[in-house]
Structure 1
Amino acid sequence: MSELSETSLPSLGFRYLGPLEVQADGRRLRIGSPRQRVVLAMLLLASDCVVSVDHLVDAVWGGSPPATGRTQVAICIAALRKMFAAAGYHDVIATVSPGYKLVSDGCGIDGVQFSRLVDEGQTALQQGRTAEASAKLDQALKLWWGPALAGVPSAVVEGKAIRLEETRLAVYEESLALKLELRQHTDLVPELAALVREHPLRERARALLMLAQYRAGRRSEALEIFNEGRRRLVEDLGLEPGPILRDMQTAIFRDDPKLASAKPVPSVWTRVVPAQLPPTAPLFTGRQTELTALDRLLDQRARGGSLPVGVLTGQVGVGKTALAVHWARGAADHFPDGQLFADLRGWDPDHPAAEATAVLSGFLHALGVPLAEIPVRLDEQTSLYNSLVDGRRVLVVIDNVQNAAQARPLMPGSGTCCVLMTGRTLPDSHGSVRLHLKPFRTDESSALLRGIIGEERTRDDPESLERLGELCDGMPLALWSAALRLAARTHWTVKDLLSRLEDPDRRLNEISHGIWDVRAQIGASYRYLPPRAALVLRRLGSLGSCDVTPRMTATLLDCGPAEAEDLMEQLHEAGFLEVAARGQDGYRRYRLPGLFAQYARERGRTEDVGDGVKSLALVRAQFA
Structure 2
Amino acid sequence: MRFTVFGGVTAAVDGRSTEFGPTRLGALLGVLLVDAGRVVGADELVERVLGDAPPPRARAMMQTWLTRLRHTLPGLIQREGNGYAVRVDPLEIDLHLFRHLVRTGRTAQALALAEDELLSTLDTPWARHVRAEFADELLAARLDHVDARLNSGEHTELVPELQALAAERPLDERIAAQLIEALHGSGRTAEALRHFEIVRARLADELGAEPSRPLLTSHRRLQAASAPRQLPAPPKPFTGRALELAELDQAPNGVVVITGTGGVGKTSLAVHWAHRAAERFPDGQLYVNLHGFGPSGAAVSPGDALLRFLSALDVPRTQVPHDLAGQAALLRDALAGKRVLMVLDNATDADQVEPLLPRTPDTHVVITSRTALRPAHAHSLPLGLLPPDDARELLAARIGHDRAHAEPDAVDTVVRRCARLPLALAVAGARAATQPEFPLATLADELADLDAFADDDDVTADLRSVFSHSCKALSPAGLRLFRLLGLMPGPDISLAGAASLAGLPVPETSTLLEELARANLIDEPEPGRFTCHDLLRDYAAELALPGERDEALHRLLDHLALTSVEAGLAFTPTRYRPATPEPTAGVVVTSFGTRDEALVWLMAEHPTLMAAMPHGTPTQTWLMGWSLADVLDRQAHHRDLLTSQQLAVAALEQLDDADGLGRTLINLGRGFGRLKRLDEAMVALERAFEVYEGNPAGQAAVLLNIAMLCPDDKVAEAMEYTRRGLALFEECGDRYGQANALTGLAWGYVKLGEHARSVEYAERVMPMWQAMDHLIGQAETWDSLGSARLGLGDHAGAVEAFTQSAEYFRRGGDLPLEAAAHEQLGDAHAAVGDAELARAAWQRSLELRTVAGLAADGVRAKLQAERE
**TM-score tier after normalising by the smaller chain length:** 0.3 to 0.5
Q: TM-score, normalised by structure 1?
A: 0.43
Q: TM-score, normalised by structure 2?
A: 0.31
Higher RCO (Cα < 8 Å, 6 or more apart):
1
